[in-house]
Every structure is written in C-alpha cells, then in structure tokens.
Chains A and B, each alone.
Chain A
Amino acid sequence: MAHPAIAVGSVSKSFGGIAAVDGVSFTVSGGEVVGLVGENGAGKSTIKNIIGGALRPDAGHVSYAGAPAVHGVGGAKHSGVATVHQETSLFPDLTVAENILIDRLRSPGRATVRPGQLRRAAAPVLQRVGAGFGPEALVRDLSAGQRQLVEIAKALAAQPRAVVFDEPTASLNLAERELVMGIVEQLRADGVAVLYISHYLEEIARLTQRIVVMRDGRVVADRPTAELDRAALESLMVGRELAQGHPPLAPPREATTLTVRDLGDGARVAGVSFDIAEGEIFGLAGLMGSGRTEVARAIFGLAGGIGRVEVGGRRLRRGSVRACIAAGMAFVTEDRRHEGLFLDRPIRESLSIVELDAVCRSRRTGWLDDGRERRLTEELARRVRLVARGGLGAAGGSLSGGNQQKVVIGKWLAGRPRLIILDEPTRGIDVGAKAEIYRLLADLAREGTSILLISSEMEEVLGLSHRVGVMHDGRLTGILDRAHATQEAVIRLATGGAA
C-alpha cells in the first residue's frame, strides 16, 4: 500500500528539561483530514514545528511518504509539506506577493526577480483564499486576520502534498472561517493530506475523518471522528468532565460605568456611541476589519482622539493609557505576543507590571518588596489557573499560546478594574481554559465589573453578553439586547443590512 504522506513515529521533544512532546506517533494519509486537538500546552504546535522541520525531535522519527524527513524547514518544503503557523510568520516590510512566493521569487527561467510576474503569480492564490487586499499591499499594514489569510495563501502557493494547519481560523470570523474550511475540503478532494490543529471542535467535527487527541505531550486517543461526540472529545482533552454551555449571567446594575460618544480614530472608525452599565457584559461583534479592535484601542487611549469617553461620569483625557488605567480600565489585547506579555522576562514580571506600585514597600519610594510581589503573582496565577511548568520564574515565551493569554488576563485582575476590555480573549485557547475564562468573566460581572467583549466567535458573544453591539466598516450599526441577539440579526447588521 502507499505510504502515509506524514508519519510521526514515537517523537519526543523537551524544552529545558520539560517534556513538551513525549513519544507521539500517528500518520496522515493523502486525501484525509486528521484533526489534532488538545489543551493549551498539550504539544500540538510543537508537533507541527517538528513536522515542518522547524524543530529537531530529541527522539523518534518523521517521514514524508515513506521517505525519512531531512531536518530543516527546507527539507520539509522540498518534500511537499507546508505548514500554516499559529503565530503568523510573515515579513512586514515585503509585499503580500513577495511573502507568498518567498521561496520562488526568481521568475521561471530567469536570474532576476520581476515584480510584475510576482503580482500575476500571487493574484490567483489570493483570490482562492478570498483576500480583500491586493498582492502589492505591504503586510505591515494588514490586520491580524488578513495576515492569517496571507499565511494560508503562502502554504497553498507551494502546491503541497501535505499541509499542517495550526489554528488557521483563530483570528478569523465566521465568513472567513467558512472560506478556510472550504479550502481544506478542496485540498482533501485534491488528495492532499491535511493535519488540522484547532480549538474549534465544531470545525474538527465537520472537517476531519480522524482525530488525534493530545494531553500533556502524549497521544491519549486516535480514533475516527464518527466515534467521538463533543463531550467525549472534551473529556479526553481535559481529562475531566466539563460544565457545558455558558455560565448564568447576573442582571447588570443601574449605574453606568462607561460612556462612549462619537468615538473615532481619525482613520477607520467614526461616530461610535454606547454605554456599559456596572456589572454588564457588552459584546462587540463584526466582521474582521470592521474596526472593533480600533474601537477598543481608541477607548483605551491607544489610537485616535476623537469623541468623548467617560468612566463613572468622569470624562477621560484622551490618548493617555495611564489615565484610563487610573480610571479603572483594563485592556486585554488581541495581539498577545507583541503587546500582551514579556516573552523573555520571568512570567512573574508580566503579572505584576500593572500593579507594580502595589508591591512596593511604600507607594512613594518605589522600593520593590519581593515577598509581596511573589504573593500577589502566585495569587493571580491561581485565579487564572495558569499552567507554568517552569514556575513563575520561567520566561513568558516558554508558555503555550493559551497560557500566555491567561497571563495577559491575569495581570489586570490585581487592580480590581471597573471596566475590562477584552479583544479576542479566547483566541487560540482550549475548551477547558475557555470555560474557565467564561466563568471568570461572569464572576467579575457579578462583582460589578463592566466588560467590553470583542470576539469573532459568534456563540461566545451571544452566550456571554447582556447586550451585543455590531460593527460594520468602522460604524456601530446596531445594539441588540440579549433577547433579540440572534446569529441572523448579528450577521445582517455586520454585513451592513438594517436591523
């Protein structure tokens, strides 16, 4: 019989004495989509990196179509294996076309690079992934979501025999998710082998024929998709039963915490007005690029200065993050690796940074008190259920994506904020962690904290929010209360239709 396109044989890999992957074996054959699921830190991305040649396994072997893998990214590419990275790996200063064709810049049969030819070669691939931007655009100017599309286009342009997707839809919204899944199905139809890593179990259920479940670096199950229902899958991943659905919401209080009037950033977003009451969770839905992030950043003083923002009735000086924090605001960024936490400083410092003054012996002197800092940070780590195998002294970069996100949320909890703005808080987070974060948000709301929740995950926004605001092309096109907030209504507003 034909060899499987990808065969992973008892592969192990550890970082600084911590086993990230431990004796993992599975195969992916042409024309099948295999799902790889597991909690944050289970080792999925590590496996992907090993298959893609970016990491060398400590033990075990990888083979492509029967041929043992030559180490190195080049080797994998050469044998027709493409990977779509979780954290995109593009060149911000190069054009989209150059990024997509980075391996084949030279025009066929020529010694030189010809921009026109690159453009022509890139355009169809971009079309295929339904990108809304041209091959000439600089990646620097694209949003997180758009970058993900470029990343996928890059993989497809190589005409691969096998593709590994690592959470390709994490930064996409419904429409584009559909698109990507269409692409995956197309690939399968073309006989390409696909390894699909995702935390969206419905995607897994829909796309895959077989599911490999990882926990703590080991494979705990490798079964046909048909045999696994959602509950079974989750308990396999987490190793325990999960409380299903969203936690109950307490009704918001009377007093309004946040008042936003005619907010704009001078570029994309304008005329956004809404209020959030004490203890209310206000969802913000919309297509990618609709400007939700911009709104969040504008409120938090990171972008634009147009419009009025009040917290507890006190008008805020615009464009000043510190003023916002002083007024009790907190902001969980969508771009955790670059804005969320220090990748190469101890995790502890990322947790204590917001309340550094609080861990000083006396606020005025600014003398740090290690004891207090340790107590505070360990308390926070517990509250967000952080899994840091290296301890809080380890570097933030050594955490898996999900646990990094927990740190980013955790650092704000020290200050007991009145208003938390979360931009894609559960992006790239496993079901277990998600449930924890949902409960955390519900608890915070119950204690009276107001929450602005931006998410591309429809059922998350609908399930968690008292009210849902919908954005379209930089405008707030409507606000639906819980009763009227249905998928259809949101989509209609998000695509510019009337409420």
Chain B
Amino acid sequence: MNPPAVATRLRAAVRREPLLPVLLVLLLGLSAAYHEFAAVANLRNIAVQASPLVIAAVGMAYVIMTAGIDLSVGSMLFLAAAIESARAVAGLPTAAVFAVVCLAGVLMGLLNGLAVAFTRVPALIVTLATMQMFRGAGGHVTGQQNIDLPAKLRGIGTAALLGVPAPVLLAAAVALAGAFVFRRTTFGRYVQAVGSSPDAARNAGLPVRGVLVGAYVAAGLLAAVASLTQTARLGAVQPSIGQGYELTVITAVVLGGTTLLGGRGSIGGTVLGALVLTTVQTGLVFSGASPYVFDIVRGGVLLAAVLAAAARWRNLAQAARLTGRATPA
C-alpha cells in the first residue's frame, strides 16, 4: 500500500498502544549499548523468558478488566507446578499431565471466581486468602522438597518449531486468542461491560456472575499454562516458585495501560507490558547491575507508565468529547 497510508496506520497503532515505540526504543538502545544484545539468539532468549509472564498477564488482564484483581497468580503457579511434579501425576503420559495441570488451574480459578461472584467479598481479599491457601496446598503436595521433573515434561520448555521455541509459540497463541475473545465474543464484551459499570450490567440483565467466574477461570487456566512453561524450563519444582509473582504480573498489565478501575484496557497492551518488563530485566543483567537496582528501575518504569496512561486517558476523553458531539448519525 502507499506510504502515507502506512504512516497513518502506524500513527493509529501508536496512539492505541503507546508502549510499542517504548519497546522499540528500548531494544534499539540496548542493541547499541551491547553488541551481543542484538543477536537473534538473544532476542529469542528474551521472548522465551517473557512468555510465562505474557501468558499469566493475559489472564490477569481479563480479571482486572472486570475491575477485579487476582493476587493468587503466584500461588496458583506454584500449586500447578506442585501437582505436575507429584509422583501420581508425573507418571502419566505427557498429554494427560498437561490436561491435569490445566484442569487444576481451571478449578483454582473457579474457586476464586465463585467466591468473588457469589459472596460480596472484594476480589482483593478473596485472592489474598486463596493466595495463602494455594501455596499451603502446594507445600502439602511437594512436602516442601525440591522435585525434578521427568525429561518428557521439560519438552515444552526446550522444544522448538521452525526455530521458534515452544514457549514463545504458546504465548503468541494465548495472546492472539485472548485478544480475539476480548474483542470479538460476547463474553469478551461482557467482561468489559461488567468492569465498566456493574450496576448497568445488572440492569441490563447480563450474566454478571457468569462473566466474573469466567474471567477468574481464565486467569487460573492461564496461570497453570504459564506454570507448565516455566517449570519445564526450570526443570524442577522448588517451594519458592511464584513467590511475589502476582506483583510482577500486575505490573505488566498496568504497564500495558489497563486501568485497575476496570473497563478500560487492551490485551495487546498487556503483551507489550510483559515484553517491556522482560527486556528491561535482560538489559539490566547485560549491564551487570544488582537486583536491587532492578527493583528500583522496575518501580520507576511502572510509575512512569501509570502517569503516562493517566494523562493519555484524559486526552482521549477530551478528543472523543469534541468529536463525539460532531459525528453526524
């Protein structure tokens, strides 16, 4: 197509996902600073390292979109891993193991979802509670031991298709599916509707509870999938898996411009958020900085993102207000 069209499309894309240029600048800058950084292998590295975060973050995005929050991701990650490593399960054929783990994720999400939808307990508290329960349960399953995974279960961590590592493929699939469901299915639209105005949703007779449950189940399932890829790469299950992970995931989602008030945000942004976060981390490893600096940088990035997002929503509202009036029916 002709250049101007491309330009306008680019501009539109940037306006929709302001994180896109940020990521590009970040990558270019780091490549300039460290020549090994630009290597294909390294970029693949980043992609692989980002994939569990991407997967978990998409699930979290759905929850946050309903004006909820899920603090139990890290613990779900651990419990899923624990179940995967349990003797009884690990013995099964690979497919069966994955099925069991995903089922576990669904059930955990279901517990969260039912609790949030049917008791009036705020999501923050529900998931705060389940966060502890799931980790405790995981402790039971593993007996707080380090357990190696059988080689067959590490496949999805190390395998590759046409040079693209399995985790990356998985993450890409999840991201695309997540975006499609959010924009193009009634469930997705209802998720945004419920987050946008629970009252209106009830007045309109939407299946509010169903939608809530659905969102949390999605988060649980994706946490389990993330756990599969993560543990497959780690090759073993330690009691410390997923500790504090919830905050990283939430950071990624918020970084992606989804507001914690619910109703506004995008899956694409979430994916970008996860990628930016991982790139920053890798960049810091390259620069040999200490992990505390990493924390500081991560906090700074998050803060910047939030401020930017706040400003952006204001401008959008302004623009829409003026045009919204003008557009003839």
Direct interface between A and B, CB < 8 A: yes
B197, closest chain A residue (CB): A91
**On chain B, which size bracket covers the interface?**
20 to 34
Q: List, in ascending order, chain B residues with CB within 8 A of A126's CB.
A: 329
Nearest B residue to A123, CB-CB: B329
B186: interface (CB < 8 Å):
yes
CB of A74 within 8 Å of the partner chain? yes
B192 interface hit (Cβ, 8 Å): yes
Q: Is the CB of A114 within 8 A of B184?
A: yes
Q: Which residues of the partner chain B approach A103 to less than 8 Å between Cβ atoms?
A: 204-205
22 contacts between A and B (CB under 8 A): A73-B203, A89-B197, A90-B197, A90-B200, A93-B196, A93-B197, A98-B193, A102-B189, A102-B204, A106-B186, A111-B185, A112-B185, A113-B186, A114-B184, A127-B329, A134-B324, A137-B320, A138-B320, A140-B317, A141-B320, A141-B321, A141-B324
- Closest Cβ–Cβ distance, residue A335 to chain B (whole Å): 15
| B 191-210 to A, binary, CB cutoff 8 A, 1 in contact else 0 | 01101110111111110000
Is the pair A267, B204 in contact by a Cβ cutoff of 8 Å?
Answer: no
Judge if A30 is at the interface, Cβ distance under 8 Å.
no
In the complex, chain B residues whose CB is within 8 Å of the CB of A77: 205
A204 to B71 Cα, complex, angstroms = 54
CA distance A135 to B327 in the complex (A): 9
Q: Is A142 an interface residue (CB 8 A)?
A: yes
Q: Are B192 and A94 in contact (CB under 8 A)?
A: yes
Given known pairs A90-B200, A132-B325, A267-B322, the reply for A102 and B193 (CB within 8 Å) is yes
Contact A89 B204 (CB under 8 A): yes
Q: Does A367 contact B (CB under 8 A)?
A: no
- Besides the contacts A112-B185, A268-B321, what 16 more A-B pairs have beta carbons closer than 8 Å? A54-B202, A54-B203, A91-B192, A91-B200, A93-B192, A93-B197, A103-B205, A113-B184, A113-B188, A113-B189, A123-B329, A133-B327, A134-B324, A135-B329, A138-B324, A141-B320
Contact partners of A467 in chain B: CB under 8 A = none
Query: Does A105 reach chain B (CB closer than 8 Å)?
Result: yes
- A102 cross-chain contacts in B, Cβ below 8 A: 189, 193, 204, 206
Instruction: Say whether B183 faces chain A, with CB atoms less than 8 Å apart.
Output: yes
Cβ of B62 to closest chain A Cβ, rounded Å: 15
The answer to whether A91 and B324 touch across the interface, beta carbons within 8 angstroms, is no
Across the interface, B329 reaches (CB within 8 A) one of A90, A92, A133, A140, namely A133
Q: Does A289 contact B (CB under 8 A)?
A: yes
- A420 vs B242: C-alpha distance when bound (angstroms): 58
- The docked-state distance in angstroms from the alpha carbon of A321 to that of B183 is 40
Q: Is A218 an interface residue (CB 8 A)?
A: no
A145 to chain B, nearest CB (A): 11
A272-322 interface with B by 8 A CB criterion: 289
**Secondary structure call for the A interface:** loop
> Are A91 and B329 closer than 8 Å at their CB atoms?
no
Rounded to whole Å, the gap between the CB of A366 and the closest CB of chain B is 31
Flag whether B233 is at the interface (Cβ < 8 A).
no
From residue 93 to 134 of chain A, which have CB atoms closer than 8 A to chain B?
Answer: 93-94, 98, 102-103, 105-106, 111-114, 123, 126-127, 131-134
Q: Which residues of A contact B199 (CB under 8 A)?
A: 89
Which of chain A's residues have a CB closer than 8 A to the CB of B197? 89-93
Interface centre among A74, A98, A136, A137 (most CB of B within 10 A): A137
- In the complex, which of the residues A76, A132, A137, A267 contacts B318, with contact meaning CB atoms closer than 8 Å? A267
Q: Would B322 and A105 count as touching, CB distance under 8 A?
A: no
CB-based nearest B residue for A54: B203
Instruction: Give A40-58 as 1s and 0s: 1 = Cβ < 8 Å from B's Cβ atoms.
Output: 0000000000000110000
- Cβ of A86 to closest chain B Cβ, rounded Å: 11
Is B264 among interface residues, defined by CB-CB distance under 8 A? yes
Q: Taking CB as reference atom, which chain A residue is nearest B188? A: A113
Best-buried of B183, B189, B320 by chain A (most CB within 10 Å): B189
Interchain CA distance A140-B264 in the complex, whole Å: 11
Q: Is A466 an interface residue (CB 8 A)?
A: no
Q: Main secondary structure on chain B at its contact with chain A? A: helix
Find the A residue at minimum CB distance from B180.
Answer: A112
Distance in Å: Cβ of A144 to nearest Cβ of chain B: 13
A149 smallest CB distance to B (angstroms): 10
Min C-beta distance of A262 to chain B, whole Å: 20
The CA-CA distance from A150 to B322 in the complex, in Å, is 18
CB contact under 8 A between A137 and B324, given known A94-B193, A267-B318: yes
Give Cα A225–Cα B206 distance, bound, in whole angstroms.
37
The interface of chain B, by Cβ under 8 A from chain A, is 183-186, 188-189, 192-193, 195-197, 199-206, 263-264, 317-318, 320-325, 327-329
Question: Are the CB atoms of B324 and A133 closer together than 8 Å?
Answer: yes
Asked if A496 is at the interface (CB within 8 A of a chain B CB), the reply is no
Contact for A73 among B185, B205, B329, CB less than 8 A: B205
Contact B321 A74 (CB under 8 A): no
Given A98-B189, A112-B185, A140:B320 Cβ within 8 A: yes
Instruction: Please state if B329 and A131 are interface contacts (CB–CB under 8 Å).
Output: yes
Minimum CB–CB distance for B168 against chain A, Å = 26
List chain A residues, Cβ under 8 A from B206: 102
Task: Name the B residues within 8 Å of A74 (CB-CB).
Answer: 205
Cβ of A247 under 8 Å from chain B: no
Contacts of A215 in B (CB 8 A): none
A427 interfacial by beta-carbon distance below 8 Å: no
Q: Smallest CB-CB separation from A266: which chain B residue?
A: B318
Contact partners of B203 in chain A: CB under 8 A: 54, 73, 85, 89
Nearest B residue to A92 by beta-carbon distance? B196
CA distance A276 to B323 in the complex (A): 33
Question: Which B residues lie within 8 Å of A54 (CB)?
Answer: 202-203
- CA–CA, A114 and B185, complex, Å: 9
Asked if B264 and A93 make an inter-chain contact with CB atoms under 8 angstroms apart, the answer reads yes
A136 to B199, CA, bound (A): 22
Give chain B nearest CB distance to A287 CB in angstroms: 12
B328 and A113 form a contact (CB under 8 A): no
- Chain A residues whose C-beta falls within 8 Å of the C-beta of B193 in the assembled complex: 91, 94, 98, 102
B321 contact from A91, A112, A132, A267, Cβ within 8 A: A267
Chain B residues near A89: list those with CB within 8 A: 197, 199-200, 203-204
Q: Hey, which chain A residues are within 8 Å of B184, CB to CB? A: 112-114
Q: Is A328 an interface position by the 8 A CB rule? A: no
Interface residues of A in 57-83 (CB under 8 A from B): 72-74, 76-77
In the complex, which of the residues B183, B188, B196 contacts A91, with contact meaning CB atoms closer than 8 Å? B196
Name the residue of chain B whose CB is nearest to the CB of A96. B324
Bound-state Cα–Cα, A105 to B193, Å: 12
Which residues from 186 to 230 on chain A have a C-beta closer than 8 Å to any C-beta of chain B?
none
The residues of B that contact A76 with a CB separation of less than 8 Å are: 205
Assembly CA distance A7 to B83 (angstroms): 58
Take A134-B327, A137-B320 as given contacts and tell me if A93 and B200 are in contact as well, using a CB distance cutoff of 8 Å. no
Contact B328 A93 (CB under 8 A): no
CB distance from A398 to the nearest CB of B (A): 16
**Could you tell me the distance between the alpha carbons of A102 and B205 in the complex, rounded to whole angstroms?**
10
Least CB separation from B193: chain A residue: A91
| A133 to B189 Cα, complex, angstroms | 22
